[in-house]
Structure 1
Amino acid sequence: MPRSLRIEYEGARYHVMCRGNQQGDIFVSQGDVDLFLRTLSEVCDRNHVVVHAWCIMSNHYHLLLETPQGNLVDAMKWFQGCFTQRYNACHHLSGHLFQGRYKAKVIDDTNGSYFRRVGDYIHLNPAEAGLVRPGRLADYEWSSYPLYLQPPVRRPSWLLTDRMLSACGIPADTKKGRKAYEAYMALRQRTVAAFQQEGADAQEWQRMERGWVHGSKEFHRRMVDSLGERSPVPLRKVADGMQKKAIGEAAADELIRRCLVHFGLSKADLIRMQKGDPRKMLMAGLVRHHFPVSVEWVSTRLVMGHFTTVCRAMHFYEDPAAPWGQEKKRILELIG
């Protein structure tokens, strides 16, 4: 069955979220929340997982997790399975509790601003849903935010706050530091409520639950490379459209690089060559035939002008002129 690919490595951080089956309510009482947090505490001990932030809404949850041992899949399999069994037993239910697999967006570990934004998003979920009044974010108790304002002795041992405070420019988990975090979150709540976010920050906020990577372009490329190296799963079995697009484009880019080396060309040469040059036509046909990339993408990469040139390249590739038949066989070997 097609499914999203998981990225795992030691020290990876994730924005994990999951909704109730058919978007139905899961958490209807304090008892349900206590059961969730007790199970979360157990998975932290069992799998050595670190929790940086969490928020429970009526029909879904958000977690900001770190896996020092690179074991997200095992941890989440046990956590959701165990919680579902316990929940169903308490409510005399059976069957699925959650809507499919959990979503886990891997977070850039080279730039603290991405980590901070995920924390902001999780803690501000109740405010966005209209569940708390302006300036009263701590009134929502089904979140780690009120715990951030408490001294360490009043928090669970599995909740780590230092990294989030540091990402917000707060040097220490002291009374002064906690007051500073409260002021920071109050400002963020006002900003989000007034739709005053600008530029990249606003775009990032809107995409918080979409995609599979939360980070810079460089980090995104690193994760794509990681998928390509570690996963033997064919592209046709990758369910996540953004993952499939990223992996396909990365593989196509590598094939184009090999073709350029084969033809003794550089990327600068592509600009000077005619749009319908047979070498371009062969490369375009090869890429389109073997990878799920768009004609617009190929046209841009190979500087072929209008995308219809790429469409013609498909016919050229399938039935190349006699002088280029042997060349097609040679570049086919580049796929490996």
Structure 2
Amino acid sequence: MPRQARIEVPGIPMHVTQRGVNRCAIFLDDEDRHHYRRLLREACTKHDVLVHAYVLMDNHVHLLLHAAQAGAISRAMRGIGQAYVQAFNQRHGRIGTLWQGRYKSSLVDSDAYTLRVIRYIELNPVRAAMVDLPEAHRWSSVHMHLGLRPDALMTPHALYLSLGDTPAARAHTYQAWLMSGTDDEELTRIRAHMRQEKALGHPRFQAILEKTLNRPVELKPRGRPALSKGDGGN
């Protein structure tokens, strides 16, 4: 059966994640991370894709991307993936695939959910017990959002810019938001939408997308479908 086309709509942010095959490491040292980041910047510049958040973990990456043209994110990710695997294999004397299938993606409703996804991305190293504070992880957009250092890769999202009238005010407000954390319900919701590659957002947002795309964008219920009384269920 052919794979269903990826849900990609111009102007709507996309949460992207890509993992190493069998959860193996995709970065062995900082040189690998520097190279991936360079490829990300070059591909996003070439295809007019904006990066609103990112984190490079040991065996996967999380990105929040935005493009005004359909297919731009797919083209950028394909270019990054191919170029990085070739360089990684050559540098470390290995052959074969590095990625666990194609990358996963989930559209994100800008109105209420974009900042939640940015927080989810930037708290990944804390949840993984790699660091105690998100800013202690070098390879993350959190440093720009907290006003700690500029980041040429990043384009701040409009919702982040609305947090204050000055860079200092925005950083202060965002820090409070970041440190309020992500509760279990929100974690489950974001992960489930990514796993099924569905659109994360308000039901109104999902309904508009379904009508526009003529395909379901909401989560499927887990497990086997429930049987009605006339179906012979016990």
Q: 1:138 is matched with which residue?
A: 135
1:222 and 1:244, CA in 2 relative to 1: closer, same or farther beyond 3 A? closer
Instruction: Map residues 28-107 of structure 1 onto 2, 5 A cutoff.
Output: 28-70=28-70, 71-107=72-108
Residue number among 166, 182, 187 corresponding to 1:205 in the alignment: 187
What residue number does 1:155 align with? 151
C-alpha distance 308-164 of structure 1, shift in aligned 2 (>3 A):
same
Equivalence for 2:121: 122
Aligned partners of 1:20 and 1:59 also within 8 Å: yes
1:171 aligns with 2:164: yes
Distance 1:294 1:225, change over 3 A: farther
| Cα deviation code 1:81-136 (max 9, x no counterpart) | 12222222222222211000100101124x2x211111010011011111222xx3
Structure 2 gaps of 5+ residues are none
- Distance in structure 1 (CA, Å) of the matches to 2:163 and 2:13: 20
Distance in 2 separating the partners of 1:14 and 1:6: 11
Question: In the aligned structure 2, how far is the partner of 1:10 from the partner of 1:308?
Answer: 42
Q: Where does residue 218 of structure 1 map in the other structure?
A: 204
3-state SS, counterpart of residue 11 of structure 1: coil
Q: How many residues align?
A: 225
Secondary structure of 1:213's match? coil
Within a 5 Å distance, the mapping from 1:155-304 to structure 2 comes to 155-156=151-152, 158-166=153-161, 170-188=163-181, 192=182, 197=183, 202-210=184-192, 211=196, 212-228=198-214, 294=225, 296=227
Where 1:120 maps in the other structure, the secondary structure is helix
Moved more, 1-10 or 71-80: 1-10
Q: Which has the higher contact order (CA 8 A, sep 6+)?
A: 2
Retained in 2: the 8 A contact 1:17–1:61? yes
Secondary structure, aligned partner of 1:12: coil
Return closer, same or farther for 1:97/1:164 CA change in 2, 3 Å cut-off. Answer: farther
Q: Is the 8 A contact 1:151 1:175 kept in 2?
A: no
- Deviation, structure 1 residue 294: 4.9
CA distance in 2, matches of 1:84, 1:205: 30
- Over the aligned positions, Cα root-mean-square deviation in angstroms equals 2.6
User: How many angstroms does 1:173 deviate by?
Assistant: 4.8
- Structure 2 CA distance for partners of 1:5 and 1:203, relative to 1, 3 Å: farther
Deviation at 1:151, TM superposition (A): 6.6
Provide closer, same or farther for how the CA distance between residues 164 and 30 of structure 1 changes in structure 2, counting only shifts above 3 A: farther
Q: Secondary structure at the match of 1:116?
A: helix
Q: Which residue of 2 aligns with 1:8?
A: 8
Structure 1 residues 245 and 16: alpha-carbon distance in aligned structure 2, compared to 1, 3 A threshold: closer
Q: Whole-Å Cα distance in 1 between the matches of residues 8 and 134 of structure 2?
A: 33
Opposite residue 36 of structure 1, the aligned amino acid is Y
- Whether the 8 Å CA contact 2:109–2:200 is kept in 1: the answer is yes
- Matches of residues 303-318 of structure 1 in structure 2 within 5 Å? 306-308=229-231
Matched-pair contact (CA < 8 Å) for 1:119–1:164: no
